[in-house]
């Protein structure tokens, strides 16, 4: 790759990130930000809640207090579970 090619690819990626899309790996198609793969490994319970409420868990996990998150999920999980999931998410973010 030449310097011009790498500059153009960086510029293309910046533009994609601004409009909220990401090139799919090994494909010419674009993915919406919501369609991107999960940022950390999730348990079956996490996946079930995401499917049930049509949300990304990372979005609501840190919104408000532990009780607020439990109320949003209609008591399907306990406060201690939310606390553990927050720690797990932070720990995963520190590894990257």
pLDDT tens readout for residues 61-94: 888 889 999 999 998 999 999 999 988 888 876 6
Percent of the chain with pLDDT over 90: 18
Residue 71's pLDDT is 92
Q: Are 77 and 59 in the same domain?
A: yes
**Same domain assignment for residues 62 and 90:** yes
- Return all residues near 33 (Cβ < 8 A) that are at least 6 apart: 20, 21, 22
Give me the residues paired with residue 32 across strands.
21
Give the chain's radius of gyration (CA, Å). 17
| Domain assignment present for 39 | no
Give me the domain span that covers residue 70: 44-95
Domains in the chain, number? 2
pTM value is: 0.57
66: which DSSP letter? H
pLDDT tens figures, 8-64: 777 777 777 766 666 666 666 665 555 555 567 788 888 888 888 888 888 888 888
């Amino acid at each position: 790759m030449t310097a011009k090619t790498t500059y153009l690819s960086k510029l293309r990626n910046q533009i994609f990130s601004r409009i909220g899309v990401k090139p799919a790996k090994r494909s010419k198609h674009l993915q919406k930000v919501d369609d991107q793969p999960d940022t950390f490994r999730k348990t079956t319970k996490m996946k079930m809640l995401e499917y049930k409420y049509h949300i990304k868990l990372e979005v609501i996990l840190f919104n408000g207090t532990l009780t607020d998150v439990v109320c949003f999920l209609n008591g399907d999980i306990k406060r201690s579970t939310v606390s553990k999931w927050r720690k797990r998410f932070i720990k995963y973010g520190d590894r990257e």
